[in-house]
Amino acid sequence: MAISISILAVITSLHLIAIVLAIGAEGRRSKSKIVPDQYDEHTYCVYDSDASTVYGLAAFGLLLLSQTIVNGVTRCLCFGRGLMTGTSKFIAVCFFILSWLGFLGAEACLLAGSARNAYHTKYRGMFAAHDLSCATLRKGVFSAGAALALVSLIGSIVYYWAHSRADTGGWQKHQNEGLGMTATFQEEQERRDFEKL
């Protein structure tokens, strides 16, 4: 299997867009302020926009699509034809694992961050209670997702490259079989010619 520039471009662009969205989600995390109700008996939390949740879920979907494409093309290292043994196969296996670890970590951060960012505390408690706070997402969850998406990008590109170098395409296993049959046929022909003499 030869390296396809279009597959590399799709994988790279989907990962990079997901990374940009994850960084944007980090910058647009929900912030809250405490507001008293109309009777001044309770306070409640007022949150600003939920753009961070949308960005996080979009990045989640793009990473999922990119990982599906790279594993569909390479047949997930398990279901395709055999790979030639050697350095390229070893590199392909190592970066296959790295790609999946980065992907799963990024997806967990993006999904957990989006879910937590969408969670809004309604009422905070009595007006005089100062120890309660509004629930907001911790800083750095989406940034961790972006960093792990970058690891997944590097792993996916190197895995695809190494897999394409180690892929036999079904030819390497049967490369010398035709020569053996030709030699046998030639020996049989010589034997017949010798018997005629």
123: left (phi over 0), alpha (psi -120 to 50) or beta: beta
Cα-based torsion angle of the residue sequence 82, 88, 92, 94 in order, rounded to the nearest 10 degrees: 130
Residue 153 buriedness (CB in 10 A; 0-12 / 13-18 / 19+)? buried
pLDDT tens digits along 17-75: 999 999 999 998 887 777 777 776 677 777 777 788 999 999 999 999 999 999 998 88
180: left (phi over 0), alpha (psi -120 to 50) or beta: alpha
pLDDT tens digits along 82-111: 677 788 888 999 999 999 999 999 999 999
Measured between alpha carbons, how far is 148 from 187 in angstroms, rounded to an integer? Answer: 61
